[in-house]
Structures are given as structure tokens and as C-alpha cells.
Homo-oligomer: A and B are copies of this chain.
Amino acid sequence: MAARAPQKLNSYLVVMAGGSGTRFWPKSTSKRPKQLLAFGGNGQGDCGEGETLLKQTLGRFDGIVPSSQKIVVTTAALEPAVHEQAPGALVLAEPQGRNTAPCIYWAARTVAAIDPKAVMLVMPSDHYIAHLSAFKSTVQKACEWAASHDDLVTLGVQPERPETGYGYLKVSANSEGGCKKVDSFVEKPNLERAKQFLADGNYLWNGGMFLWRAEVILRAFDELMPEMRKVWDGESGEVARAYPKMTATSIDYGVMERAKNVVAFPLECGWDDLGSWTSLESLAEALHARHAAGTVTGGDALAIDSTGNIVDTPNRLTALLGVNDLIVVEHGGAILVADKRRAQDIRLIVEELKKRGSNLL
């Protein structure tokens, strides 16, 4: 946590928006993955009800990062749609998705070429934030820390429940300037361990949100993934040639879990990862938007002896009779009816439709 002399804070936002869209099928498709979908803001904290997740994500950093310094990394296939949702942003179109390490390496080289001392705010494009001002205030502090310390800063979400769907950060008990040392990265726990983590108080959700100066993350790459610079420079920074040769791994696995200079700012802002249809339930909880049928995120619903369902059927009324814990979605010529416990298996449907050569993907 060695501090540098303070200087004017220059920052770049790097939004990762390369997801391929299987978990929210049929609402999400390959041409319109979830980052390009609107799940409804709350009209209070987050920016823009009815805006796409990508647009909401970009808007969240207004006043923190100059709009001309917002970068979106996506895949070539999504580039036109991303340009539409992110006018004015610099778009880096990956020739193919190769997980987050190559994506962040490319972004870091891009930012470093402009200003190696600039802070990069690396953010996924599929998060929900209930309380925007709390989020911004933590980001601001983390940003200042990253500008003045040679640390890899992450935002660790203060757990609200014993969640088994996220990885955790084990952090130190004591903090300095609101910031805690990260001792280790912990894989998704079972329920028992998740309960222990919640009780312990020194575990935060790993939300995949990072802040660091470009020079600091590049130094970490050079130490922990030296092959990245070798490939990149070997191909004279030509992305199309370099990308296929880069190590396709996550930034967590490639860098963060092995680096010694990782710190976390605890984040309390009603955060949720929109990972699958079931994650909309906690979102609805946060918005106090529960319905007799369960969670209704699109269209209207009528429930008779039916609870715990997730309904997204825009412009339609869905009537439920004697059914519980289902996901019911209608979109673009397709209807999905799934057991909620199978939310992670929706990709099986997408795979089957691919085999059939369906145009519903």
C-alpha cells in the first residue's frame, strides 16, 4: 500500500461488454446479449429506467470519468449495437472472446499509450446498482486510492445474504482510508460456508470491478503473465494476430489471485450481478417490486394459487394457475417455461436450438 505523491487524477472507464447471451434466452440472444437489454432501472438510484445495461453502466460514471475517456471492449459481432448504445465511447472490438485477461491487457495497453499514470476503472456491463450515490462515493475513494498507491484495487460487495452464486474476497479486519488488504480469493462456497462468511464479516463478494493505474496492472501482467507482453509486442500490437495467441483466462485467475498488492473497498450500494433469470428476484426485492405471482419484470401477470414465479412477457398478460417457482418468458417468437432451479441450464436450450439451426438465437 505504498503511497505515491498525489497528482491530478486522470481516469478511463473500461467496460467489458463481450458476453454472448445464453442465460437470459429468449430475451437475450447472440445478437442481443444481456448487456444490450433493458431490465428496468428503479427511477431513483440508477440511471435510466428502460435503458440497456450497457448504457446504464456507462451513465453510472458520469462526473467521475470524462465521457471522452469511456472505453467499451466487446466482440466484433456486437460492435454496431455497442456503438449505438455508447455513442462517443471508444469501442475496442475483440476478434473473438478470450476471457477477461486479454481484454484487460489490450485496454491497459491502450490507456498506457495515452497516459500510463491514468487510473483505469474496469467494470462488467451486467450489474445492477440500487443506490447510485453510494456507489459513486465508493468508486471516487477507490479511484483516488489507485491514483496514489501502487495497488490493484477491487470493489468488494458487502454481502447481504449467504450467496452461493458468487466468489468471495477474504479481507483483513483492519482498514486504512476505507480500504482493506485482500488476503485471498475464495471460490463460490456451499451454503454452510456462505453462512460462515456472512457471520465472519471479513468476506466480500467478488464483483469483478477493478481500479488501477495502467502502469500498475501492466507491471502485474509482466510479473505474473509475462507471455502477454511477449505475444503483444511480437505481433507489434496487431490485435487480429496477437489475440488468438494470448492466454485465454480470467484476470482473477491470471493476475489477481496471485498478486500481493490487492486491496478492496467495501461497497454497500444494493449491488447485484444479473447472472440469470433468478437474479432478477433479488433485484425485484431491492425495488420492492414483488408481485403475487412472484417477480414480474415484463408485462402483466395474474396469479391463482401460484407463487415464486419469474415472469417476463412484455406486452402480454400471463395467467398462472397452480404453478410455483417457474420462469416464464416470452420474446421474439419464443416462449420459455422452466423450473427456476434449472435457470443455469437454459444454455442447454440454446445449444439444442443451435443444432436445429434455429433463427431464435
- Copy number in the complex reads 2
| Bound form: Cα–Cα A348–B326 in Å | 20
Q: Which of B304, B330, B337 touches A321 (beta carbons < 8 Å)?
A: B337
Q: Which of B305, B315, B328, B349 touches A302 (beta carbons < 8 Å)?
A: B349
Question: Given A323-B326, A339-B323, does the pair A317, B352 have CB atoms closer than 8 Å?
Answer: no
Q: How many residues of A contact B (CB 8 A)?
A: 36
| Bound form: Cα–Cα A264–B240 in Å | 82
Q: Is A287 an interface residue (CB 8 A)?
A: no
Residue of chain B at shortest CB distance from A356:
B302
How close is A29's CB to chain B, nearest CB, in angstroms?
13
Q: Is A316 an interface residue (CB 8 A)?
A: yes
**Pairwise interchain contact A321-B335, C-beta atoms closer than 8 A:** no
Residues of chain A whose beta carbon lies under 8 Å from any beta carbon of chain B: 25-26, 302, 304-305, 313, 315-323, 326, 328, 330, 333-339, 341-342, 345-346, 348-349, 352-353, 356, 358, 360
Residue of chain B at shortest CB distance from A324:
B339
Q: A320-B337, A330-B335 are in contact. List 8 more A-B contacts (CB 8 A).
A: A305-B342, A316-B334, A318-B336, A319-B336, A321-B339, A322-B339, A322-B341, A322-B342
**Pairwise interchain contact B322-A334, C-beta atoms closer than 8 A:** no
- The interface residues of chain B lying within 8 Å CB-to-CB of A360 are 317
**Pairwise interchain contact A335-B323, C-beta atoms closer than 8 A:** no
**Pairwise interchain contact A333-B317, C-beta atoms closer than 8 A:** yes
Minimum-distance CB pairs A-B, first 10: A322-B339, A321-B338, A322-B342, A318-B335, A319-B349, A317-B334, A321-B342, A319-B336, A304-B348, A320-B337
**Pairwise interchain contact B302-A321, C-beta atoms closer than 8 A:** no
| Bound form: Cα–Cα A149–B341 in Å | 64
How close is A360's CB to chain B, nearest CB, in angstroms?
6
- The interface residues of chain B lying within 8 Å CB-to-CB of A356 are 302
**Pairwise interchain contact B318-A337, C-beta atoms closer than 8 A:** yes
Give the interface centre of A317, A338, A341, A353 by most chain B CB atoms within 10 Å.
A317
**Pairwise interchain contact B302-A323, C-beta atoms closer than 8 A:** no
